[in-house]
Amino acid sequence: MTTAVAVAIMGDGESVVASAVEAHPRLTLVRRCADLAEALALAEAGMASVVLLSDQPRLNRAVLAEFAAAGVVVVAVPTRASASRELVGLGIDHVTELGADPATVAERAAMVARTALPALAVQRHAPAVPEGDGVVIALWGPTGAPGRTTLAVNIAAECAGGPSGEAIVVDVDTYGGAVAQALGLLDEAPGIAALARASLHGTLTDDVVWRHLLVVDHGLKVLSGISRADRWPELSRSALDAVWPMLRRHTPVTVVDCGFSIAQDEEALYDTRAPERNGATLSALTVADAVVVVGTAEPLGIQRLVQALAELDDHPDVDCPRIVVANRVRSSVAGRHAEEAIADAMARYSGVDRVWMVPADGKSCDAATLAGQTLRTRQ
C-alpha cells in the first residue's frame, strides 16, 4: 500500500522532487499544488497523508495546525539558507537539508509515512504534556462578571509575594479583557498579542517574551490583552499553544484570565475549517495545571456556576483539577448562613465537595481599583 503525497514546493526544484516522489515505490503523487491554499484544501478533503512544503510567505502555525487537524504530516523542504531555522521555529519536526537530493527527499517522505502518521493519530487524542517547571492556573467562570479578573490579578500578586517570588498574569479574554485597567496600565501595550504573532510565525524567543512583559510590583509581571473585542483573531489557539511552554520556563506561576465562553459552534457557520472565537480560552484551559472556576454568591450566580461546571465536564480537552470559588459572599443576598447555603447547593447540584468562599469587600476592592493596585499592595 502506498502513501498519498502532495507537493507544494515553490521554485525550480519542484518538478524534480515531484518526479522523485512519483518514482518511489511506496509513494503516490496525488497533486502538484500551485500554492499553499491548494495543498490545504487537498489535505482537508482527505486526499493526501503527507505534504511536501517549501518555505512560503503564508506558512505559519495556524496553517500547520490545519494540516495536523486533517491528519496530514508536513515535510518541509527549505529553498534558502535561513529557511531551515525558520521552518524548525514554526514547529515542523521533519525538515530536510538545504539542497537535499530529490530521491533523499522522497525517501524522507516515505519514512515519515511509516513513523509519524501513526504517532499523529495517537497524539490527536492524547493530552498535551506540559513543558518547563512553572505551573499554569486558569481563571474561568460563567458570564455575568463574577470577578475573574479581580481574582486573577490578586492570585498572581499573592503568588509573586509568596515563596515563588514571581508570577505572570496573562489576559486572554477575547470578549472584555481588563487586566491592564485593573492594574492601572495602558491597554495599548502589545502584550499577549505580540507573543501570539511571534508564535504564529515561528519567531517566539525568550527575548520576545522579556521585551513584552510589564513589571508591576514585587515580582508581578503582566501580559496585557487585546484592547478591542474585534481583535480576537489575533489570539488564535494554534498561536497560544506554543506560548504556554515558554511562560512555564520564565516563571514559577502563570495565572491566565480567560473569557467566559468555551462554546465550539463555529463549525455550523462555516463550510471550511472555522475560526475559533473561544480558541484563546480553550488553549489556556487545555494546558492548565488547575482551573479556578469563579461564580458570584447570589442565586443567579450560583445557577450560572452550576451550569458552567456541567459545561466544563462535557468538554473533552479540559482535564485538570478544579477549584470552585464563590465570590462576593454576603448574607444580604444569600441569607444568614450564606456559606453553608452555598456549599449545600453546590454539593447537591454539582457534586462539589469544597467551595472556596471569598467575602464581599467592596470598599477594599474599590480602593485598589482606583489606585490601580492589587489588594496585597494596598495592605
For 1-21, the DSSP string reads -PEEEEEE--STTHHHHHHHH
Residues ≥6 apart with Cβ < 8 Å to 367 = 378
Which grid cell is 85? 531555522
84 within 8 A of 95, measured Cβ to Cβ: yes
Handedness of CA 279, 244, 173, 152 (dihedral sign): positive
**118: confidence class by pLDDT, cuts 50, 70, 90:** low
- Region of 71 (left: φ > 0; alpha: ψ -120 to 50; beta: rest) is left
Q: What is the mean pLDDT of residues 121-138?
A: 61
Q: What percent of the chain has pLDDT over 90?
A: 68
Whether 155 and 297 share a structural domain:
yes
Q: What is the mean pLDDT of residues 312-327?
A: 93
The residue out of 75, 97, 123 marking a domain boundary is 123
Of 258, 274, 219, 215, which Cα lies nearest the Cα of 62? 274
C-alpha to C-alpha distance for 169 and 171, rounded to whole angstroms:
7
Whether 71 and 176 share a structural domain:
no
Whether 42 and 168 share a structural domain:
no
User: What's the pLDDT score for residue 170?
Assistant: 98
Whether 170 and 81 share a structural domain:
no
Whether 73 and 161 share a structural domain:
no
Checking if the pLDDT of 311 tops 70, the result is yes
Count of domains forming the chain: 2
Whether 166 and 109 share a structural domain:
no
Strands 135-140 and 253-257: parallel
Q: Residue length, the chain? A: 379
Residue 129 lies in a domain: no
The residue out of 123, 155, 183 marking a domain boundary is 123
User: What's the pLDDT score for residue 187?
Assistant: 67
C-alpha to C-alpha distance for 292 and 304, rounded to whole angstroms:
15
Whether 113 and 178 share a structural domain:
no
Residue 356 lies in a domain: yes
Whether 240 and 317 share a structural domain:
yes
Instruction: Give the CATH number for residue 315.
Output: 3.40.50.300
Q: Where are the alpha helices (DSSP H) in the chain?
A: 14-23, 36-44, 61-69, 83-89, 102-123, 148-161, 179-182, 191-200, 206-212, 237-240, 243-250, 279-287, 299-313, 331-334, 338-350, 362-371, 375-378
**193: confidence class by pLDDT, cuts 50, 70, 90:** very high
User: What's the pLDDT score for residue 137?
Assistant: 98
User: What's the pLDDT score for residue 45?
Assistant: 85
**265: confidence class by pLDDT, cuts 50, 70, 90:** low
Map residue 24 onto helix, strand or coil: coil
- Tell how far CA 99 is from the center of its chain: 35
The position carrying cell 499523529 is: 120
The residue out of 123, 148, 176 marking a domain boundary is 123
Of 337, 331, 336, 340, which Cα lies nearest the Cα of 360? 331
Whether 87 and 33 share a structural domain:
yes
111 within 8 A of 104, measured Cβ to Cβ: no
Checking if the pLDDT of 55 tops 50, the result is yes
Residue 205 lies in a domain: yes
Burial 91-104 (b: 16+ CB within 10 A, else e): bbebbbeeebebee
Tell me which residue range forms the domain holding 35.
Answer: 3-123
Checking if the pLDDT of 175 tops 80, the result is yes
User: What's the pLDDT score for residue 268?
Assistant: 46
Average pLDDT value for the chain: 89
In order of 150, 329, 336, 373, 376, the CA distances from 342 in angstroms are 21, 9, 11, 30, 27
Whether 84 and 221 share a structural domain:
no
